[in-house]
Structure 1
């Protein structure tokens, strides 16, 4: 009896493992961006141009997806070289000491048909905090260029730079403490 139960359990686990699909972001059609207020009167946007996202799921609607993000902090770009160079220093991201930011999802909650709350651990500037990402799933199509299944998502969230020890010398009146994360991603099945 034990052998039969063990065999059923092993077969069940192998079926689950074989059904798991891996997806990677398409760098040419993905963006990991942010928006921050400057002097309380304008918004400055930027992005990390060097990042990878891996998604693992067993369901076509992504309801059990696990997400892993790694971005190189030195790839920060706001379109102004002098500002970008300053953001890379110890005043802000300290890219030599903290070369990567990471996100590892821990749970997913369905909000509506195409909207989800993706909770996970964001590690930035040597500090890890739990954050919730608002995810909108745009759907899945077959990309005519490579014949791969491709899915699209829009992601937003807010974080406080003070929670991660970024830019402590700069008051709210100069650089907002609240940073809006705005990302778009296309994922192709591996």
Structure 2
């Protein structure tokens, strides 16, 4: 199995899928990347009228890609829950507290999933297990190919993907502030893969 480390030029996030560009593949390729250039965000509604967007500033991910069958890509993401950022006074402390991520007891959250082989690169499902606060639930995301082009400076092809899915925080024991913060939280991810 080949291993490639993707640095700052590869925007990171937790979704799978890459594009086969007509080259033969002998094995699945392993791509390892982190938060150094990418985005892993969450969006919550407040009082039914406002929304806020936060992000995780420390995570690591791995994709296992078969270039001949990119819609069967495996993805694993580990997030440091204490590395949460939100631009509202007191919000970070609240999210780190026992009422939400409880970072002292549960310093990591995880997603392990796979593209199902269905759909097209324009839109495909990614399903797996999301673990937060030691609680694991099934989770589904919809991913799509945003752009694919040749990077002349790299001399290689680059594929950019985005995806999103909705989780219910109450299913992970985060039930505080129900009148002020929506139960449904939208997860948004972006990835740029250098092929």
Give the TM-score normalised by the residue count of structure 2.
Answer: 0.78
Q: CA–CA distance in 2 between the matches of 1:144 and 1:95? A: 43
Cα pair 1:156 1:180 within 8 Å, conserved: yes
Q: CA–CA distance in 2 between the matches of 1:100 and 1:143? A: 35
Give runs of aligned pairs for residues 173-188 of structure 1, distance below 5 A. 173-188=179-194
Corresponding pairs, count = 172
Q: How big is the alpha-carbon RMSD for the aligned residues of Structure 1 and Structure 2?
A: 2.3
SS at match of 1:133: strand
Long gaps (5+) in structure 1: 1-16
Structure exhibiting the larger radius of gyration computed from Cα positions: 1
Residue equivalent to 2:167: 159
Give runs of aligned pairs for residues 1-190 of structure 1, distance below 5 A. 18-25=26-33, 27-59=35-67, 62-166=70-174, 168-171=175-178, 173-188=179-194
Cα pair 1:136 1:153 within 8 Å, conserved: yes
Q: CA–CA distance in 2 between the matches of 1:126 and 1:84? A: 20
Deviations 1:112-134 (A, max 9, x none): 44211010010011100011110
Long gaps (5+) in structure 2: 1-24
Q: CA–CA distance in 2 between the matches of 1:34 and 1:108? A: 23
| Range moving further from structure 2, 180-189 or 126-135 | 180-189
Cα pair 2:115 2:124 within 8 Å, conserved: no
SS at match of 2:139: strand
Whichever structure has more helix as a proportion of its residues is 1
SS at match of 1:86: helix
C-alpha deviation, 1:164, in angstroms: 0.6
Give the TM-score normalised by the residue count of structure 1.
Answer: 0.80
